[in-house]
Amino acid sequence: MNDHWNALRTTPTRTPATSSGRTTPGASRRTVLRTLAVATVLAGTTLSALPPNAVAATGTPETYTLTIRHLDRTGAATGGYLTHVTGISGPGAAEEAAPYDASGTVTVRLPKGRYLLDSTLNGPAPATGTDWVVQPRLDLTGDTTVTVDARTTAPVDVRPPDQAARYLNSIGVVEVTHEGTTRSANVMVARDGLRVAHLGPAAESGSVKEWFDTYWSGASADYALGYTFTSGRALTGLVKRPATADLATVKIRGAAPDGSTDSGFVSIQPSAGPTIGLASPLKPLDTATVLVTPERGRWDVTYSGPAGPETPPNRYSADGIAVRAGATTTHTFGNAVFGPALAGTPGARPAGVRDGDTLALDIPLLADGDGHAPSAPRFHGATTTLHRDGVLIGTRQGDPGQARFTTTPGRAAYRLTATATHGSGPSAGGRVTASWTFASAATSGATELPLSTVRFAPELALDGTAPAGTLVRVPVAVEGAAATTGVRSLTVSMSTDLGATWTRVPVLDGQVGFRTPAAGRTVSLRAELTDTNGNTLTQTLRNAYRTR
């Protein structure tokens, strides 16, 4: 894999060569990584002019002098450092400073309290590497001297089984919690040779959490190797040499049913904790393979398809992917069959809501074949209508599956219909329609509507086609309300003449079977569902996919 770049979750910019950071009060630990903090703090200055151990006035906290000495790998004083001191608890809990003096010895006055100190030391040349020293427990109860000594560090040696793989970059994050407050620091390096060390006394057991992620590029696969540690100390060195059998494989496929030849981008990163991600271009009809460490937990994948003539890149995501050593997980983005999807992620907002006299629809009407919802769905037109007891309440046009209506309080029978046309190039002529019926009355608060969808998942090539004239088994899955309350009836029909005529196909063991038409034709699919409460769905996917 080539042309990789790593970026923080919140920015597409290239990772700096080295940086160090901490999380300030109220900031998100997953998204705030300090890379340019020197510009926002006083460097090499005294925060207070008070004499040692003095109290200026009632309510003013005691302050003490903190002296920090910096030594390089030869034991000599060095000015090649970046040091941060961040308050955790006590009167100094809100303090932060990045003191600097070119001599290698710097002083700063701070209030009494517990602090997190981290220091990045860089040698005179890139080849000499980077040292990161972390003191998770610095209790400032009097004038204190701390020596940051690069000679105490040990190598971070985390490597993939592919010895020819090319190192990209790494991030280390330490998170410290004390008396209910959490602070963090991080280091990012874009060259091999990082060494790390714990400094000072241990903090309380379990109060120090550390992540370390490193990224590599190989000829046939990339590597995202991440580890998490919890103890009372920061790491002093880290050696991990996982075998291929210890890693999980994530395959990411980029489809192009519309015949597009432009490349998209794919990225992968751990779901939990502060992190950077591994990203690279993905050509149409191509597959990216990434080997990841199950020890790092779940993983998030994002695919950004090519931009349209006047539209932004279409972004799909699959978050919280569970992985297992030796197993392969595959996600295909941007392929047919396009249609409504309700599986979503735990905690996702409902697709339809009744709140008082307001009825709102918010459903991905053009999710891809794997159920990934696009950020900017490609469509030619979209209409949503609402009928109450057979009388039209309103019609909305705009984004697919997005509409809001005002109705009347009494209980009534409703029919909500959403339609979108889509497709270009070889996949032109697609049309998705979902029509739901249900009974509803005014509510005292937001109440989820009993909406269901049916997903079809045929095996398709990345150009959105299936072999012509073959017997196929197409998995059928029910999502939404009926998946919870139960299905009373479900019928599926298919058409090979753009929906002019339909042939019913039985649903057996969660699949339907039929023979695909001649090459160059299309398959349309229709589902009619009734749940155990009497709510219904009629869903039609015209030109769902093509044959070759």
Q: For 218-285, list the strands marked E by DSSP.
A: 222-231, 238-240, 248-254, 264-270, 276-282
Cα–Cα distance, 140 to 299 (Å, whole number): 39
Residue listed under structure tokens 């890149």: 313
pLDDT in tens, 488-520: 999 999 999 999 999 999 999 999 999 999 999
Nearest to 361, CA basis, from 372, 370, 371, 350 = 350
Quick check: helix, strand or coil at residue 369?
A: coil
* Domains along the sequence of the chain with CATH: 5-240 (2.60.40.1120), 246-333 (2.60.40), 352-547 (no CATH)
pLDDT in tens, 5-16: 444 433 222 233
pLDDT score for 344: 52
**pLDDT > 70 in the chain, percent:** 87
CB 302 within 8 A of CB 316: yes
Report in angstroms the alpha-carbon separations of 303 from 275, 279, 297, 298, 372. 18, 9, 20, 17, 10
pLDDT score for 275: 85
pLDDT in tens, 410-454: 999 999 999 999 999 899 999 999 999 999 999 999 999 999 999
Give the DSSP H or E segment for 483.
helix 481-485
Cα–Cα distance, 397 to 384 (Å, whole number): 6
Nearest to 524, CA basis, from 279, 389, 339 = 339
DSSP for 520-534? Answer: T-EEEEEEEEEETTS
pLDDT in tens, 237-260: 999 999 999 999 999 999 999 999
What is the pTM for the complete model shown? Answer: 0.85
CB 415 within 8 A of CB 386: yes
Q: Report the phi/psi class of residue 520: left, alpha or beta, with left for phi > 0 and alpha for psi in -120 to 50.
A: left
Quick one: DSSP state of residue 418? E
Cα–Cα distance, 183 to 87 (Å, whole number): 8
Report in angstroms the alpha-carbon separations of 137 from 33, 141, 186. 20, 12, 16
Name the β-bridge partners of 489. 530
